[in-house]
Amino acid sequence: MNTYKNFEEAGESNWELLEQLYLNKYKLLKPEDQFSIWDGMIKKDNRLYVMCEVKRRQFTTYRLINSYNSQFFLEKEKYDNLHKERKEYINKYPWFEFKIYYISETCDGITYIFDITNKDFEWTTRKMKIATYKSDEQKEKEITYLHIDEAIEIIK
């Protein structure tokens, strides 16, 4: 089960997943700031960089399919902040292309990768936990759903 005591521990775990997925394929760049909104960046070629946001889920693929209708959720605040940072990179390095991947891994090790770059999502409001390690606190959040059929890649 993926539970963490703090943001730093979660960030280290997310970086480990990125290394497992991409280290032998692409150059990986770690965020300079430990409180960065993204967990790592992939340099795919000389022009394309992909900012990655990782979510390690506390449920199995079986539960994802049978209890959550094969859908992960994405918070609008996270989406907006990732795109704000992407825009800053585009302004700083206009000769590069920047994409955003949202990577969700179930606790049984199945990884779903979604390209969320400039997607026109339909948002809905839902009461949700603030963070995994503060399960008693909730607030209203705007979210959208990402169906596993929309994943650009599924890694088992």
The residue ranges of every structural domain in the chain are: 7-155
Average pLDDT over residues 103-119: 95
Question: Mean pLDDT over all residues of the chain?
Answer: 87
2-50 pLDDT, tens digit per residue, is 444 444 555 677 888 898 889 889 999 988 776 778 889 999 988 999 9
Q: Which of 118, 45, 55 is nearest to 87 (CA)?
A: 118
Strand order in the sheet with 27-29: 27-29, 40-43, 48-56, 97-105, 111-115, 153-155
Average pLDDT over residues 98-119: 95
Q: Which of 53-57, 81-85, 120-124 has the lowest mean pLDDT?
A: 53-57
115 sits in which H/E element: strand 111-115
pLDDT at 127 over 50: yes
Q: Taking the complete model, does pTM exceed 0.85, yes or no?
A: yes
* pLDDT at residue number 131: 59
72-99 pLDDT, tens digit per residue, is 999 999 999 999 999 999 999 999 999 9
Per-position b or e across 56-94, b if 16+ CB within 10 A of its CB: bbeeebeebeeeeebebbbbeebbeebbebbeeeeeeee
Query: CATH fold of 7-155, please?
Result: Trna Endonuclease; Chain: A, domain 1 (3.40.1350)
